[in-house]
Structure 1
Amino acid sequence: MNNDLQDLCSLVRTHPIIDNHAHNLLTAENALDYEKYPLESITSEASGEALKQAPYTLSHRLAVKQLAELFNCDPNWEAIKAARKERVTANYHGLVQKCLDGTFSLLLDDLLTDCDIEDYRWHNQFVGSPSGLRRIVRIEAVASQICRDFWGEEAAPEHRMSRHIRRFTGEFEMRIKEHCLDPMVAGFKSVICYRTGLNVEAGINDDDTWDSCQEALHHIVENDPSCRMAKKPLNDLLVNLTLHVIRETASQKGSKPKPIQFHTGLGDNDIDLVLANPAYLQPLIEKFHDVDFVLLHSSYPYTREAGYLASVYPNVYVDLGEVYSMVSKDAELSILRQSMELTPTSRLLWSTDGHFHPETYWLSNKQFRDTLETVVVNHVKQGILTVSEAKDVVVDILFNTSNKLYNLNLSSPITLSDKKRSNVADASFAAQAKNLDDLAALNPNMIVWMQLVDYTAIIRVRMFPIREFQKIFKGQRRIGITMATLHMLQDDTLVPGGTATGQFYMRPDMSSLRKNAALNSNSATVMTFWEDENGAPLEGCPRITLQRIVTALNPIQVTLGFEIEVVILHQSTGGWSPLTKNHSWSNMTRDIRLNALELLETAVTTLASIGIHIEQFHAESAPGQFEFVLPPGAPLEAIDTLIKARQTIQNVAETNGLRATFYPRPYSFAAGTASHAHFSISPTIEEESFLAGILTHFSAITAFSLAQEGSYERVASGIWAGSEWVTWGTQNREAPIRKISTGHWELKQIDGLANMYLAMAALLAAGYLGIAHSLPLTHKDCPVDASTLSAVERQQLGITKQIPKNLDDSLTALENNDDMCAILGPGFVKKYIAVKRAEANKLASMESGERITWLMERY
């Protein structure tokens, strides 16, 4: 195979996917309950007696051989079940992680059932994108819930007496509209195919229809405690009402309507196979021409009908999911080929229909990638597609079409093969790799440092040979860290309230993997998420806390960027002294040229060698002080880059016998050292409420951004450090929040002693609270240093609060801020405050010079 085809095959095998339709997984406690959730159902839609014949199907026999690879066992069903039991019992979390390997975004229909499953938010820890988890709302489940709420046994008697269809539909429309406005909802789904068939009447308004719906509603409520919607007039009405609300809500917002998915084709014996033909939807597709329809499950065996609809209607898309692992290999190839006979490849999208057992995800993804590779390679060999066109087809099906259709606004991930072609020597190629085998083959002697940032902003490290690290990544090992870490100071002192009992676990985030540079070490670093014994996210994990806030802000997208201010020191007889003394802001003095320029340029080129590209660098104001400006990025990525860049700058300095420190005030006679954070939101429609939330909760934010008593020595008026009052100003460097442009600000009250994940989580949480509570922006644009204004002038600008003068004031403000405690996690906040107060007491016991030296050695 030539290199171009090898690249194409590699792209198919490794490109991260958006899984546009799936369902919740079982909890670990229910994952082995085969009486209720037969494992054979992963290869068959049959149930009951019919399911006993599943082992005799070609789909099952292929799955057995593939699952034997997954579980490293003999290729027979009993061996697989035995190996699976061992894996689920030992590390269910690791199995789920393995089975969702390569999933960048997951759209969950989480209303398939309401028992025995994990909450949809739980699944977020397994996807590649921090904002990659969204919901698909099943409209029949919404309707059933309304019936149970108003007319079930738990409803008030007066409600049970008033079962009127108009009341029901009014409540239904209101809930659908709420979901339309919910940023976590990517779209809707109807299972009318299962209930009454796809021959949906388009448009329902006559009195006879309403009378029929009233009668159907009474029958359902009287005879079915579950309130299952299965009466044709009523189900047709629900679909029409949903489409109408989707259209009208989007029109009112001036936005794109959210798509609606329809189950079509293949299903269990609860379906009328004849009425599962998507051709029946044609009148509805025409009537609601401005709403996008997704025909799920390849519409098998009506694949060609689905393809025809997608070829002639611009609002129709064909989902290729669910059939993979349910039909034979020949059928898989045939289905994909039939899908591509008429359908524009830009209207094909992928899903697993994964549900209950994690292996449903793994088998579907594996089999579809294999099938897609075979089909596109054959098209290239036949001269139908060029390699470049084939790659576009692959990326559209796996990622781009879903990203656009559901308005996810996800940045396209970089694949392993792309990076290897760019620069195989750069270990940062693994930043998006989900398979470590290639990296281990390239560099079998590499050591991987798993890192965490504790509450004192100290980076703690565990180191592993890459082959051991592979076991960790694959879920074959878990790395436990003592819970004492959550109550630990820089010198390992355990603060009051801490305990050495219990542990949490580090899970590596491969997107952060980067080679160590400027060290005599064949190693790389990777940041981690923290999890509890059950594999669930641990409250207080800095990276998970930030990820959770960013997800809550969706569909608002957040971008962060950082300025690294650093002081370069050399050892002298009196201790540490600045590398350059003839020094001023943005000045290239002789001292800088002779003593610092080579070092600075080496730092920049070293950072570039690991994929961190500095936008600019220059001298800052204090002796030996310089600034490096990092590019903007998604929040987790931007902070991971910041930490790596700081480590690399310090490495470069140390190889030259120097010290690079981020301590905020090395000298009382010169400007301090900050770590200014730029933050942007898009769209900007809520920017005033977002900013109002930040200003309202600013004192609580400083508990994280000004994280030690020494931080407050830098906060003063007249030195471009944000001054002393809570306010904002356009291009005002004497305001703690400088507005740069619409939706883009700079936080000046932050420095290198902060745990940046937590500081940014607090900042964004405050902005989120502003939006959630629709806070008005009462602060006006301040054009000057607010400390130079009179009390009356400040009052006119809405400036009423001073920035806390010390750490204890900030911690008290956080402690008394119920909203911020709730969104960040009350248990975590309590731990954090205990650590910071104990740390403050320890540092206060030191003499000033000793304290500064002690901190400069650590930051």
Structure 2
Amino acid sequence: MRMPALIDHHCHGLVADDLDRAGFEALMNEAPHASPLATTLFDSMLGLAIRRHCAPLLDLEPLVDADAYLARRRELGAPEVNRRLLGAAGIDTFVVDTGLWRDVLTSPEETAAYAGGSAHEIIRLEWVAEQVLQAGTDDFAGEVVSRLQASGAVGAKSIAAYRVGLELPATKPSADELASALAGVAPERLVDKTVSAWLAHTAVELGLPLQFHVGYGDSDLDLLQCDPLRLTAFLRGTVDRGVPVLLLHNWPFHRNAAYLSQVFDHVFMDLGLATHNAGVLSRTLLRETLELVPFGKLLFSSDAFGLAELYLVAALMFREAAEDLLGRLVEHGEMTDNDAQRLVDLVARENAVRAYGLDPR
């Protein structure tokens, strides 16, 4: 089976400065730091994957201990580590969410340059709205629309999951409802369901493919409110527009997301940061997702944030999972080699090209 270069349809920039152990562990997963009541974040499937698969690219033996790994990382320097690991990840197109740590992480173009690839931007709706509110305006709606249209982004992202949950209405809030809601929001952190709903519907109206954070994330969200099934009304209300809605990450709701991708024409999904966090066990997530998801609705993403290791592990785990699972299906006569290649090509590249209207190079 030939593995094409990947399009990473949802990711973030990298830290270009060297990190001590505490700084590195703070970026490994959704925990803010290693728990003083536990051991270390290296004691996880992700920690094993970094030591197993990233260490050799830094001239170390596989599964070298964490202290030796981090010492070598500092010796090489973050830019060289970023170049080595992204260069080995096999990703040539990066679709980058720029809504978080904009002044700390590398830009989309800088991130892609480490791999000799190309970059596109995803613009975060709540960030745009907060910028408009902080600047002050008599026409919030018009200013938001203008900024989205002028952004050059290939898509937008909603973090309603973090702010208000995913139970958004089927119809766009009226101008009066928006004005009433805006009267009570904090410009520095927008937390209002009416405003989040207005932003999401506006992005779809503008034809911007719309990403939603779904499921697994940090302690700032309430996971109970992040089941994608809560988006059902919104999905019913937007299906006729034909604008892609892309469900990100999805664990532990990946089966629910697969169902939604099947029954709504415009819904796509990925496994995002669950892939690198689960390490080699992420092949179970892929198998469970493929139970229902149409092959033309599943996209690869790493959701890598800060650490180049997350790009490499996510890409490698996807490839290994696909080769293992599809290889067994071919072996048992459940699909042909051509079927397996078609599935891989769709998930690795073609679905992202179609969903975002990218250059299909």
TM-score (norm 2): 0.91
- Separation of aligned partners in 2, 1:408 and 1:364: 22
SS of alignment partner, residue 214 of structure 2 = coil
SS of alignment partner, residue 347 of structure 2 = helix
Name 1:77's counterpart in structure 2. Answer: 66
Name 1:281's counterpart in structure 2. Answer: 231
SS of alignment partner, residue 55 of structure 1 = coil
- Separation of aligned partners in 1, 2:98 and 2:355: 20
State whether structure 2 residue 313 is matched by structure 1 residue 363. yes
- Separation of aligned partners in 2, 1:172 and 1:20: 24
- Separation of aligned partners in 1, 2:28 and 2:322: 19
8 Å Cα contact 2:25/2:34 also seen in 1? no
Name 1:31's counterpart in structure 2. Answer: 18
Name 2:156's counterpart in structure 1. Answer: 188
8 Å Cα contact 1:325/1:363 also seen in 2? yes
8 Å Cα contact 1:105/1:127 also seen in 2? no
Kindly state the Cα deviation for residue 116 of structure 1 after the two structures are TM-superposed: 2.1
- Separation of aligned partners in 2, 1:207 and 1:310: 31
1:59 to 46, 63, 79: 46
Kindly state the Cα deviation for residue 114 of structure 1 after the two structures are TM-superposed: 2.0
- Unaligned regions of 5+ residues in structure 2, if any? none
Kindly state the Cα deviation for residue 176 of structure 1 after the two structures are TM-superposed: 1.8
- Separation of aligned partners in 1, 2:148 and 2:43: 43
Kindly state the Cα deviation for residue 117 of structure 1 after the two structures are TM-superposed: 2.2
Name 1:533's counterpart in structure 2. Answer: none
Q: Look up the equivalent residue of 2:262 and give its one-letter code.
A: S
2:32 to 40, 43, 47: 47
- Separation of aligned partners in 2, 1:176 and 1:210: 18
- Separation of aligned partners in 2, 1:258 and 1:195: 21
* % identity of equivalent residues: 25
8 Å Cα contact 1:100/1:358 also seen in 2? no
- Separation of aligned partners in 2, 1:20 and 1:135: 10
Name 1:117's counterpart in structure 2. Answer: 105
Q: Look up the equivalent residue of 2:198 and give its one-letter code.
A: L
8 Å Cα contact 2:83/2:115 also seen in 1? no
1:136 to 122, 126, 146: 122
Cα offsets for 1:152-189 (capped at 9, x unmatched) = xxxxxxx6xxxx6xx2222112212223xx3xx21111
| Structural mapping, 1:459-470, within 5 Å | none
2:144 to 169, 172, 179: 172
| Structural mapping, 1:44-443, within 5 Å | 44-48=29-33, 50=35, 53-74=40-61, 75-88=64-77, 92-93=79-80, 95-101=82-88, 102-129=90-117, 132-150=118-136, 167-179=139-151, 182=152, 185-205=153-173, 209-210=177-178, 212-217=180-185, 220-221=186-187, 227-244=188-205, 246=206, 257-289=207-239, 290-297=242-249, 299-330=250-281, 332-411=282-361
8 Å Cα contact 1:296/1:319 also seen in 2? yes
8 Å Cα contact 2:12/2:305 also seen in 1? yes
Kindly state the Cα deviation for residue 324 of structure 1 after the two structures are TM-superposed: 1.7
Kindly state the Cα deviation for residue 236 of structure 1 after the two structures are TM-superposed: 2.2
| Structural mapping, 1:688-707, within 5 Å | none
SS of alignment partner, residue 335 of structure 1 = helix
Cα 1:349–1:197 change in 2 (3 A) is same
- Separation of aligned partners in 2, 1:177 and 1:283: 26
Q: Look up the equivalent residue of 1:140 and give its one-letter code.
A: E
Cα 1:85–1:364 change in 2 (3 A) is same
Q: Look up the equivalent residue of 2:47 and give its one-letter code.
A: H
Q: Look up the equivalent residue of 1:81 and give its one-letter code.
A: L
SS of alignment partner, residue 351 of structure 1 = coil
- Unaligned regions of 5+ residues in structure 1, if any? 1-7, 151-158, 222-226, 247-256, 412-859
8 Å Cα contact 2:164/2:191 also seen in 1? yes
Kindly state the Cα deviation for residue 34 of structure 1 after the two structures are TM-superposed: 5.2
Cα 1:95–1:242 change in 2 (3 A) is closer
Cα 1:409–1:62 change in 2 (3 A) is closer
- Separation of aligned partners in 1, 2:162 and 2:134: 21
Please give the root-mean-square deviation of Cα atoms over the aligned residues, in Å. 2.2
- Separation of aligned partners in 2, 1:397 and 1:207: 39
Q: Look up the equivalent residue of 2:56 and give its one-letter code.
A: E
8 Å Cα contact 1:259/1:292 also seen in 2? yes
Q: Look up the equivalent residue of 1:173 and give its one-letter code.
A: V
- Separation of aligned partners in 1, 2:81 and 2:27: 19
Question: Whose relative contact order is higher, 1 or 2, with alpha carbons under 8 Å and at least 6 apart?
Answer: 2
8 Å Cα contact 1:31/1:356 also seen in 2? no
